[in-house]
Amino acid sequence: MIHRTPHPLRLLLPALAVLVAGCSDDAAERRRALGDAPGFADLMRVADADRGGRLFGRCAACHTIERGAGDRNGPGLFGVMGRPIAGNSRRFGYTTALRSVGGTWTPERMDVWLGAPTVMVPGTSMTFSGMPDPLDRADLIAFLQM
């Protein structure tokens, strides 16, 4: 009788499955708790800034978030919430379309912007097509508010 030693990966798979399950995103659970048609305030109540920080990775190709980090293809976003729209960076060349919006970045306005930038501001140079999931947007906004 030949006795084979199990492949090391075969021994690791059960432990890996437990580890991944313990680190899984709770977004599905939060969605169930919200019900069928949550409003923006409901979404912000359950928003997860840590998850929003992970989602910011989608933005990091064009934006920085650290104080003093400067601009990339898009303006630096440190402290953007509560600041004037098209006014977070003195050095960035905002489009006339975005400068004409006026007002400040509130969570509600940021939600609309993140949902579809070119719908909110036709003529913007932002190439990001939008973030369709309202819970993802709430998480990202919670991160931006930190």
Each residue of 54-69: pLDDT tens digit? 999 999 999 999 998 9
Region 109-135 average pLDDT: 96
Percent of the chain with pLDDT over 90: 71
Residues facing 104 on adjacent strands = 84
Hey, which CATH number is domain 26-144, 1.25.10.10, 1.10.760.10, 1.10.10.10, 3.40.50.720? 1.10.760.10
Instruction: Give the pLDDT of residue 25.
Output: 65
Given a contact cutoff of 8 angstroms between Cβ atoms, the answer to whether 44 and 142 are in contact is yes
Task: Give per-residue pLDDT as tens, 15-58.
Answer: 433 333 334 468 788 878 787 778 999 999 999 999 999 999 99
State the Cα torsion 101-107-110-114 to the nearest 10°. -160
Domain edges within the chain: 26-144
Confidence of residue 5 (pLDDT cuts 50, 70, 90): low
